[in-house]
Amino acid sequence: MIRYIYANDLKHEPQLRDSMFRDRADQFKARLGWEVNVDADGYERDEYDALNPLYVIWQKPCGSHGGSMRLLPTTGRTMVNDHFKDITGGVHIESPLIWECTRFCLSRDAAPGAAAALMLAGGEVMNGFGLRHYVGVFDARMVRIYRMIGAEPDVLGTTGKGRDAISVGLWEFTPESQAKVAERAGLSPSVSRDWFEAAFGAATPQAQHRAA
Amino acid sequence: MGWLNNWTTPRSLRWRIWRHARKGNPLGYAAMTQRLDTILHGLEQADQHEALQRAIEALSAFYGVDHMVYHWVSSSGEQYGCGTYDDVWVERYLEKQYLRVDPVITGCYQRFHPVDWKRLDWSSKAARAFQKDAIEHGVGNQGFSIPIRGPNGQFALFSLSHNCTDDEWDAFTETNRRDLILVAHYFNKKALDLEPGRTPEPSQPLSPREIDAMTLLAVGYNRAQVAETLSISEHTLRVYIESARFKLGAMNTTHAVARALARGLIVV
């Protein structure tokens, strides 16, 4: 299932937390060879994990991490503004309606629909919170996967070559692409909605009151 | 949540000082509804906290909601606030230390997504009693809160509340939430600027790319033409415009172009 968890709540989910940061080490350090830090616990963590980001996590039935991404509003510090302004044409991207999506990660044994489920969840966040765009930093080779699942970003540019190629791109979600992504994920929109509401609350009907 | 316990007497006095200022304001609450860009212009020009109180009253009237409230906390736990709640309710909130049980506070602190109050957890006995008391004091049965993260651990909350049906409130928030999110952030920017002893954060300047985009829009190019001229996709252009409008404190593209012209950032 999809979980939506702020960093300060990860302490309540030790198995999910440990497996997420270790899968990130496996993906970004071992497989991609990015220059990332892996700590004594085997976690890949950076300074943006310290800003209480919102993690969107595909949780496997066993309770461990199957895939994830990290969201932060662009009104605060972001990776794209700190490190990739050469790719954004020098534009400091900043709006409460644009969030940054980074560290898109899949575990080695991720289920086939995991990537699509995460993109679908990204759409839930966008609709649920009134966002207009995501700006993302991702492994350039992910573009092929994003395209396959129907959530292709608009790539602003790429830095580095081969394994080291890192791209910056933009997403918005039309209802059509949402439907396509849901199909790829093998999830009904109502299940996706239920997971979102499990994290952020379902609407409880409110009685109307007359002023005394 | 350290700051929950730090709503000390000096802070409540500060709250009262802001509120008292409004009573001497000849353009008080009954004044006619101002246009949104006029209100935002007034907010931007504000050089005293009283102007924030006037702005929030005008915003509340503009959106036609019963109440609007802004409060913030610095990393050291200092709190400030202004808004349209009745003094009696503010006093009661402080006296009863409702900050400890208010689901809006616990649901928003350290987060950054906007929250409809009816999605919060009101199930505890204390929360239900608090809600009943709030409604009896005219807060309303509906609410929407926007958490804001400022620099250096600053946290602020911008809330609206009203008395209406769920359907009416859903329609209102669906229509207005993006504008309200922007307004909340503009409000916080100004409150930060007015913090005693603080040098205002230099606002992020527009990059040459954004200036080019705004200039072409100002001379009447449509988005497709601007994108083509700048050799970027329309999607990229939308992101640049979104970003520029936020830096300019504007509500829409037309407003952003007008502000860029007024500030001399673009010349046509």
Q: B47 is in which domain, residue-wise?
A: 2-193
Is the CB of A155 inside 8 Å of chain B's CB atoms? no
Query: Which residue positions in chain B have pLDDT lower than 70?
Result: 1-33, 73-79, 197-203
Whether B267 is covered by a domain: the verdict is no
CA distance B75 to B198: 14
**Domain co-membership, B100 together with B15:** yes
Burial (CB < 10 A; 0-12, 13-18, 19+), residue B71, is buried
CATH number at residue B242: 1.10.10.10
Q: Which of B198, B203, B134 is nearest to B163 (CA)?
A: B134
**Domain co-membership, B180 together with B219:** no
Q: What are phi and psi of A5, to 5 degrees?
A: -135, 125
pLDDT single digits (tens) A92-104:
999 999 999 999 9
**Domain co-membership, B19 together with B50:** yes
**Domain co-membership, B174 together with B236:** no
Q: End of a domain among B150, B165, B193?
A: B193
Q: End of a domain among B193, B223, B254?
A: B193
Q: Which of A96, A200, A209 lies closest to B141 in CB terms?
A: A209
pLDDT of residue A196: 97
- The one-letter amino acid code at B134 reads A
**Domain co-membership, B137 together with B215:** no
Q: How many structural domains compose chain B?
A: 2
pLDDT of residue B28: 39
pLDDT of residue B43: 93
Q: How far is B13 from chain A (nearest CA, A)?
A: 28
pLDDT single digits (tens) A124-178:
999 999 999 999 999 998 899 999 999 999 999 999 888 788 999 999 988 888 8
pLDDT of residue A88: 92
Whether B200 is covered by a domain: the verdict is no
**Domain co-membership, B184 together with B258:** no
Whether B178 is covered by a domain: the verdict is yes
C-beta of residue B71 within 8 angstroms of C-beta of residue B80 = yes
Q: Between β-strands B79-83 and A166-171, what pairing exists: parallel, antiparallel or unpaired?
A: unpaired
Whether A89 sits inside 8 A of B232 (CB atoms) is yes
pLDDT single digits (tens) A48-86:
999 999 999 999 999 999 999 999 999 999 999 999 999
pLDDT of residue B217: 96
CA distance B182 to B179: 5
**ipTM score of complex:** 0.95
Q: Which of B149, B165, B243 lies closest to A98 in CB terms?
A: B243
pLDDT of residue B202: 66
| Angle at CA of residue B59, ends B54 and B63, nearest 5° | 155
pLDDT of residue B195: 77
**Domain co-membership, B12 together with B89:** yes
Is the CB of A128 inside 8 Å of chain B's CB atoms? yes
Q: End of a domain among B161, B193, B225?
A: B193
Q: Between β-strands A154-159 and B115-116, what pairing exists: parallel, antiparallel or unpaired?
A: unpaired
Tokens of B84: 């349209």
**Domain co-membership, B144 together with B24:** yes
pLDDT single digits (tens) A19-40:
999 999 999 999 998 999 999 9
CATH number at residue B158: 3.30.450.80
Whether B177 sits inside 8 A of A8 (CB atoms) is no
Tell me which CATH code domain A2-199 carries. 3.40.630.30
CA distance A192 to A22: 26
**Domain co-membership, B188 together with B224:** no
Is the CB of A207 inside 8 Å of chain B's CB atoms? yes
**Domain co-membership, B185 together with B213:** no
